[in-house]
Structure 1
């Protein structure tokens, strides 16, 4: 092989004449002539126990190299047939693994000492990350909120999870879903994900997945489907992670195409918008039957009534949810457990509480946290503005709004009303009367135009003071940076009112929320205002709004049609509503919702998760590693302040890094800084740029061969040592997540020049302080001198490496058996108390255990790195 042109592969000596030697390289067809005295050539020789490839393509295991009259033959066993073979070296495949440490060693290729050390560090860090129970939960641009992390960790690791995420408005269901997706993608539990969202939220989801989780999803709307169909028959198979608008479920052709792809995970946002009576619901049922893992998201699970809620639960587990009346009876029965659950929670009896909560039927398939249980929310302050003697309601409200904006100068207001026509008319009137250019947000805007409007309003430097939204502004968009909400009119359903207020009243809101409501006397809004006040819908969260609407809608509607004649019936309605609201809240507090809260958030478990995340995400270690990586690979990093820096590629980059634009990006390792500066990339061990660095240094050749100068006066000059790194892997399908039990292992063997094994006597890193860099020329000379001795040492190191591998495998088998047996027992016990545990989930644990144990019986051991240390004391 040519030391200077490894890419040529193996060459055959075709002529030796005088002072020149000629080689032909079959892989490239090139011919090279060299001076025989100093040709940059190295004899390629396979060692016993290595894998060789015949020129015809088949592989064989070398048992014994035989030298006969200057020509090597390799006696061994053919892999595909098991027959004994003898392969002359001239029949070896010309293509060789140029990145293999032995190939590089024979060719005299050596990396710098610091690159070798960086490779060893990356292997250690990668193993730690792969085995961490919080891998995939580290990198969200979000506060470490216990209830979100508990749900994400509980759901992400399940076998084919099928759950309803139903936290109240403002508690972060989207973040929970993103955390689940990120962990499942990074650990291999899921590869193909389909996300279905309301059309108005498509672009926001794409941005949020990228900005918060560094997850790149592809949007497939009708236009994209039509374009993709020109190039491929299976439209959705071209991407692994896909977002589609909800309307696509109703398309006669593209909806059926969705069923042609084997998705691993389905996520449906605002699932309450798809009523069981709609055709989209029927197709959604087909999707949930075809896709093994399902996440349904809604903040108002019972908005359309208990029957619709039951129908959605049937999407998750049709075998369990078969009878609506039986389901209602079961839910009523859980109410009797609430006093005991409260007492156990107050006493801190976690194990007993866990056993009790395990009996809560829907607790396994539905997670619903309440704001009262989670805490940390601001107060709501209602400001009521009665408008009397009004001839033109719209004009009166507009004049009132102008006065309000004048009274609160330099303050941001969000105004929500029912109709797009109202939005446009109001914006125009404000522009004509005051010169105020309000940002507008309605369903006639494109997704990009909506994003621009939201950004224009949010900008602290040159933004506008007012964002005017139609009803779609009350779903999906988060504006917790504002604290003033104007309800220009009132919605007809209490849940819509709660969603409007929930755009500001959410985690992250730093101030009390002021709700400004202008009400024209003797109007439908006056009726609604009185009714909503009777149930405290403005000043407290309203989880019972849907129940109250179902109870009183028939009495409310006639009053809305004739508001001027509403008294005294409105007074009677308000009194009845107040009484019923008090009763329902008492019922909810005493009943199954409390069990749901306790089951959806167990603080003692979440505390452990947060501690693990903070320990693993310690920014100094990550920052140091990444800055070393960037320095070695030709990427500039300039500190901008104590918390951020500018990262940009240079013309000296060793590799191309997807995700690093030519103009560079600003990055931070600090979560708090990233939360305040959304334009700055937040780097964690989960981030693609960090994962690329770890992969390059653990799977590529960087740092795999090294020659270093040892300076130790106690040792003879010229004494040398060889440190060999072997990698051990147990190969299994990605969804089995073998790395949690047996990540790619590094096995070290240290030999001296006499072949003595010093691995146990000299610990890793013990000699590092005595080592110095050797330039390439000296490294090449040393490698040439020690080439044969190094090959012999490599051969000698295989038995101790195999022995240590066996010890690691035995430990892994014990962990597999212990953890999965415990999981299996836990699920069996749980199923006795809670039939929501599926048989398939229990069987999957046993199958995973068997498959993982089988994979450990056929490990792959490979030479990963070689470091030669030669003693040359000054």
Structure 2
């Protein structure tokens, strides 16, 4: 086993961009290395750490932490640590000791030249693949839409706009309050994905109601390639361990036996630090060790259904108090709710104070502020809607903008200034169906059926049995006696050419129904329930999505309302109804989505004189919840709960049902009126910029056309990944028999991918292959983190070039060594400087492109290649060392250009934020401070960017 000593300097072979590492801690099996250049640490297993010891020999030149270049005169070893005696090149008598711990952190590596001169050669194909990978990484890092390209989503303007506005902030803290069905989950996922992709965040926690845990898990994995760990009591028990003191005592005994005296390493017993991405339920949050959870150093916390966090000045709920503790400890916070302030200023204030307690310290002051805000919001709505502004309207606007010209000719400037000064877009976003087009109509078809005698139960039976009478059977016998099944059989036969989604509350109901209709009636159906693993569910969904040979209907348990997109279907059959109005909206939302091409037909077979009939009329006649979205459903349920319970207990009592419907209609009308009166035009305008949204859509469409597939096929061929055509623009990837080690992010069972967004959205069984897909990112890391392709010799076949002519193609890279959160690659992505030298050192790169050269370069057998290098070693070394100065000049120009772009961008952002702060208190001071510090750090990191020879190819002309 390698001997490590604290203070030694080692280099990561897999992450050379980290700079020179410093051994920080060593225990009996782990070694921790600090990388000061990027302010990061890594912990490795000692027996297979990908580390190379960095030492210098007599005559070598080293660089100290102060930037001094010194020539090594002597080397001493002190208990595993090296001390160099070195001097400045022009002062040989000024010898000074330099412990290795004081070496500079940014190590200039010339690995390509070393490999060339020591005949560690790769094939021509590997050199070309390495250069292609460098070009790909540069395109990936330099994209203005980095973080938005990878998710499997429709290109919907308002979602892209919100993600673009929020994700670019440092530690965003906002309320996402889009109306039901507009995609708050997607917006949150986009923000999270971009924060992770750009390095602004590493650790994220999502807290959702119990019923939505699987929906979020599936959405994050399928749409965003983010693999969350679900934490619950079972998970915590699995992570349980002996006490810290017990483990320390045990390790101390081990140390005493093996190495004599020694201290046991520190052990962190916080289980929430074991994963980077954690998902948990609100119920788990209320029962877990909140101190440990809050102390887990979250960069971003996302809380869904935040309106369920009840608060009052004197008695906040336990869930609210715990989220408040999380909010105070985390850097970023996203709260999701479809019901903002229209349903109560107090609850709205409670959510805003979670985001920024300094800005919202007092409820009374907030209420008074909102009165003023409503006047401004109403004024903005009038200015936006009216083509001609009457004198009174101009006068009211001028009172708010005394330093602006208020007339129709300056409409855009006036509206923009009002949004800047009074808009809540820094802290809250809300889009509604009023300002977002593309939704279908919804039509409901009630199907009253006779109640079978064996379904009649007493009023004192459990509610579940009253709502779902088939639950009283232990097998699928009920299917042969249930009129709903007979109706479903007839309905599917009448709609043979249509896709039909069937949802029922219970898993056993879905299983029995599928078995009866599929095996006994011979119908072409698929089933989908929580007893299936994700792969089985994917296959079922894909079978349903197949329009040629797929299932006509998909029978789902309640999990079918979770996050899946079945908008290609137009018929929804609800075999039963849930008690929760939000859950009903989720069911309908599987089909009622942006992009649905036809009206959604909702079919509800129910038993007369039964609890399901009560629910049908409660929803339809009381709330009109089938044919319109129902943002107030949760509140309506609370206000009508007693009347609903009474009617469900005596479903054949018409008077109770009439009272329930009347009460529900009154409450729903009052709540909808409040919602419409509280419609916030200022907020809607601040939440959606159609021009910016269209630009983002165009950029993403262009990015879609730049497919990574041609590059990836070359990678797969090199590493031994089998590729099989699945269909048009889709392929099956599997580990091949010659694959020497697991390929990053490629499952052992294989995966099906497509590079077409439309196909990926329609086919849940396929992954969307983009430049941001983990498979592509893993391939780039795999190629660039190893040595293959750094040095090569090839044969140039061109009759116009004299045989024996020698050329050297040198590829240098310029890249900043910086922590990811600085996002230095926005301004200086990995940039290639290519030089093509003849034997006299002249640069021919402008005359002969890399691609043109590759078409003429061919394989050269290694023995001959090595002879060529050996015979020309002196010339090659001199050519490359002399040319490095010229290449360095080009690199400096690249760096200066990047610095200029950075200064301009950061100055604009700072000026904008400072101007906003003077007008709008919603701009947080810490955002400005972060930008100022970021600018200073970027100035240093980009200015000190690393320049190195990344790959070199010796080319010899011949036949």
Q: Do the structures match in fold with TM over 0.5?
A: yes
Give the match for residue 835 of structure 2: 749
CA separation in 2, counterparts of 1:281 and 1:571? 33
Give the match for residue 31 of structure 1: none
Give the match for residue 127 of structure 2: 116
Counterparts in 2 of 1:561-640, with a 5 A limit?
564-565=654-655, 580=670, 583-584=673-674, 587-588=677-678, 591-592=679-680, 594-619=681-706, 621-640=707-726
CA separation in 1, counterparts of 2:452 and 2:727? 57
CA separation in 1, counterparts of 2:750 and 2:451? 61
Deviates more, 1:758-767 or 1:343-352: 343-352
Give the match for residue 279 of structure 1: 318
Other structure's SS at 2:907 match: helix
Q: Over residues 101-156 of structure 1, what are the superposed CA-to-partner deviations in whole Å (9 max), with x where a residue is unaligned?
A: 12211221222223222222221221121011212211222222222222222211
CA contact (8 A) 2:273 2:296 kept: yes
Counterparts in 2 of 1:54-69, with a 5 A limit?
61=69
CA separation in 2, counterparts of 1:755 and 1:729? 25
CA pair 305-774 structure 1, distance change in 2 beyond 3 A: same
**2:341 is equivalent to residue 296 of structure 1:** no
CA separation in 2, counterparts of 1:170 and 1:759? 55
CA pair 835-509 structure 1, distance change in 2 beyond 3 A: same
Matched residue pairs, number? Answer: 801
Counterparts in 2 of 1:196-275, with a 5 A limit?
196-230=207-241, 233-253=269-289, 255-275=290-310
**2:380 is equivalent to residue 337 of structure 1:** yes
CA separation in 2, counterparts of 1:366 and 1:163? 5
Give the match for residue 776 of structure 1: 862
CA separation in 2, counterparts of 1:498 and 1:685? 35
CA contact (8 A) 2:449 2:484 kept: no
CA separation in 1, counterparts of 2:147 and 2:444? 41
Counterparts in 2 of 1:351-370, with a 5 A limit?
353-370=415-432
Give the match for residue 490 of structure 2: 407
CA separation in 2, counterparts of 1:626 and 1:571? 60
Q: Over residues 383-412 of structure 1, what are the superposed CA-to-partner deviations in whole Å (9 max), with x where a residue is unaligned?
A: 245679999596999965345324312564
Other structure's SS at 1:647 match: strand
CA separation in 2, counterparts of 1:684 and 1:457? 22
CA separation in 2, counterparts of 1:173 and 1:267? 11
Counterparts in 2 of 1:832-847, with a 5 A limit?
832-847=918-933
Other structure's SS at 2:951 match: strand
CA separation in 2, counterparts of 1:124 and 1:457? 37
Residue 504 of structure 1, CA deviation: 3.5
**2:251 is equivalent to residue 164 of structure 1:** no
CA separation in 1, counterparts of 2:412 and 2:772? 31
Give the match for residue 859 of structure 1: 945
CA separation in 2, counterparts of 1:655 and 1:732? 30
Residue 522 of structure 1, CA deviation: 11
Residue 282 of structure 1, CA deviation: 0.7
CA contact (8 A) 1:485 1:516 kept: yes
Give the match for residue 672 of structure 1: 758
Give the match for residue 23 of structure 2: none
Give the match for residue 377 of structure 1: 439
CA pair 651-585 structure 1, distance change in 2 beyond 3 A: closer
CA separation in 1, counterparts of 2:798 and 2:516? 86
Other structure's SS at 2:927 match: helix
CA pair 554-319 structure 1, distance change in 2 beyond 3 A: farther
Deviates more, 1:340-349 or 1:701-710: 340-349
Give the match for residue 203 of structure 2: 192
CA contact (8 A) 2:636 2:668 kept: no
Other structure's SS at 1:335 match: helix
Give the match for residue 313 of structure 1: 352
The correspondence for 1:325, drawn from 357, 361, 367, is 367
CA separation in 1, counterparts of 2:855 and 2:317? 71
Other structure's SS at 2:953 match: strand
Give the match for residue 144 of structure 2: 133
CA separation in 1, counterparts of 2:340 and 2:117? 67
Q: Which runs of 5+ in 1 are unaligned?
A: 1-8, 10-44, 67-72
CA pair 279-49 structure 1, distance change in 2 beyond 3 A: farther
Q: Over residues 784-824 of structure 1, what are the superposed CA-to-partner deviations in whole Å (9 max), with x where a residue is unaligned?
A: 01112111122212221222222111111111111111111
CA pair 49-730 structure 1, distance change in 2 beyond 3 A: farther
CA separation in 2, counterparts of 1:312 and 1:382? 35
**2:803 is equivalent to residue 722 of structure 1:** no
Other structure's SS at 2:280 match: strand
CA contact (8 A) 1:341 1:595 kept: no
CA RMSD of aligned residues (A): 4.7
Give the match for residue 797 of structure 1: 883
Other structure's SS at 2:727 match: coil
CA contact (8 A) 2:285 2:319 kept: yes
TM-score of the superposed pair, with normalisation by structure 1: 0.79
CA separation in 2, counterparts of 1:491 and 1:292? 38
CA contact (8 A) 2:430 2:687 kept: yes
CA pair 299-344 structure 1, distance change in 2 beyond 3 A: farther
CA separation in 2, counterparts of 1:706 and 1:430? 61
Residue 158 of structure 1, CA deviation: 0.9
Counterparts in 2 of 1:488-507, with a 5 A limit?
497-507=584-594
Other structure's SS at 1:363 match: coil
CA pair 349-143 structure 1, distance change in 2 beyond 3 A: farther
